[in-house]
Amino acid sequence: MTSHSAGFEVREIDLDTLTADELDQVVALANLIAAEREPRHSDFSTEEFLVFSRIPGSIRHRYAVFDDASKLAAYAELRYRDDGSNAEMLRVAIGVDPAHRRKGIARSVLEKALELARELGRTRMAGETFDTVPAGVAFAATVGAEGKLDFHANALQVQDLDLDLLRGWVSDGPRRAEGYSVRIVEGMYPDELLEGIAHLYHVLERDMPTPEGHEPRIYSPEFVTEMIGQYLAVSEALTAVAIHDESGAAAGMSQLARRHHDPSTWIVSTTMVDPEHRGHALGKWLKAAVNLEALERWPGAVWEETGNAFTNAAMLAINHAMGFRHEFTMTEVHVDVESVERYLGNRST
């Protein structure tokens, strides 16, 4: 599907059929946008880009906008859940080269999103804005999108970790959480823990702060294996898993990951405790255990990064105690399809 607007060609694309030059342009633009949004993540290789673009769980439609010299000016991804959940929602991500902004390109891509939303019967669109990219914030506001949830992006320098604090959380763990133990897993989760960890992923999505009406995915061991397997193609992971000794159930987990391409940065990919097992300071034990393990196994780290919803006071308190400090804010924004129709109609007259 191709259209033209003000000297630009908007083309639906398949990453697997792009020419090498076109794919290189997509990756370069993704890194350019990332450098504006979060500078430590602006060096993704083509392999990494393709791996992360294939993370399971969504059906994706991708668009590229080329100028009259066949140079990429924008890249966009429209996606929706493949399991039928959140059936009213279409997620929209648009990245425009700063040199080509204010030329109507994002609006042209939004027209494609509106066409797809009508075809699928979606009534709302969702996306993310970053306070480090004012142009994206302004565009979302112009369309009529409203902020629904703010997330902290937090970071600390690994050399500033308070090792005495972390060791104290670990040594206090068995006393504060009697009847539990913590197991360190490297890479893929073992078969005997997969079902329990799949349940934890479901609980994490179910209980995390989300806009009203969000439906969590039902995670299966097979889905988790596929999802984590994709990540492990270009990164490695350490996971501390809390085990309820009597039942053998996975009660919580905290995971650190690092890209093969950038081993100097640790990313907290998830930390959660099942509500049935809260109240025992398991979160502190898990966070401390995986960090201390990473210090032993992954020398040379410089940064550790994590994210939190502003409303998650308990996890924010743990992260602040560890030394994490706010870097930027990401906001989940929603807009009714009717509002998008009005915006596009007004702009076309």
Residues 209-231 have pLDDT tens digits of: 677 778 999 999 999 999 999 99
Helix (H, G, I), strand (E, B) or coil at 77: strand
- Measured at the alpha carbon of residue 83, what is the angle toward residues 81 and 248, in degrees to the nearest 5? 110
152 — phi, psi (to 5°)? -75, 140
**How many C-beta atoms lie closer than 10 Å to residue 50's C-beta?**
17
pLDDT at residue 2 tops 80: no
User: What residue has token string 């085990």?
Assistant: 243
Beta-bridge mates of residue 91: 79, 126
DSSP 203: H
Categorise residue 179: left if φ over 0, alpha if ψ from -120 to 50, beta otherwise.
left
Q: For residue 65, which amino acid is it?
A: V
Rounded mean pLDDT, 258-272:
94
Rounded mean pLDDT, 263-276:
94
Q: What is the token pair recorded at 36?
A: 């504006």
* CATH 3.40.630.30 matches 162-322: yes
**pLDDT value at residue 182:** 98
207 — phi, psi (to 5°)? -100, -10
C-alpha–C-alpha distance, residues 104 and 74, integer Å: 11
C-alpha–C-alpha distance, residues 79 and 92, integer Å: 7
C-alpha–C-alpha distance, residues 41 and 48, integer Å: 12
pLDDT at residue 4 tops 80: no
**pLDDT value at residue 311:** 75
**pLDDT value at residue 179:** 97
- For the domain covering 2-149+333-348, report its CATH number: 3.40.630.30
Residues 160-178 have pLDDT tens digits of: 999 999 999 999 999 999 9
C-alpha–C-alpha distance, residues 258 and 267, integer Å: 6
Q: Residue 32, exposed/middle/buried by CB under 10 A (0-12, 13-18, 19+)?
A: middle
Helix (H) or strand (E) holding 336: strand 325-336
**pLDDT value at residue 96:** 97
Which pLDDT band holds residue 41 (cuts at 50, 70, 90)?
confident
pLDDT at residue 38 tops 90: no
**pLDDT value at residue 47:** 96
**How many C-beta atoms lie closer than 10 Å to residue 108's C-beta?**
22
C-alpha–C-alpha distance, residues 315 and 261, integer Å: 28
Rounded mean pLDDT, 320-342:
95
**pLDDT value at residue 349:** 40
**pLDDT value at residue 210:** 72
Mean of pLDDT over the chain:
93
C-alpha–C-alpha distance, residues 128 and 137, integer Å: 9
C-alpha–C-alpha distance, residues 226 and 288, integer Å: 28
Residues 188-211 have pLDDT tens digits of: 999 999 999 999 999 988 887 677
Nearby residues of 67 by Cβ (< 8 Å), 6 or more positions away: 7, 8, 9, 73, 100
The half-sphere exposure of 69 on its side-chain side, counting CA atoms within 13 A, is: 3
Comparing 275 with 5, which gets the higher pLDDT? 275
For the chain, percent of residues with pLDDT exceeding 90: 87
**pLDDT value at residue 188:** 97
Q: Where are the domains of the chain?
A: 2-149+333-348, 162-322
Q: What is the token pair recorded at 77?
A: 């991804």
Pairing of strands 262-273, 250-259: antiparallel
CA–CA distance from 49 to each of 164, 234, 315 (Å)? Answer: 38, 10, 30
Please check whether the two domains, 2-149+333-348 and 162-322, share a CATH topology.
yes
pLDDT at residue 6 tops 90: no
Residues 285-327 have pLDDT tens digits of: 999 999 999 999 999 999 999 988 777 788 888 999 999 999 9
Nearby residues of 157 by Cβ (< 8 Å), 6 or more positions away: 302, 303, 304
* Chain centre distance of CA 146: 20
DSSP assignments along 157-175, one per residue: EGGG--HHHHHHHHHHHHH
Which pLDDT band holds residue 3 (cuts at 50, 70, 90)?
low
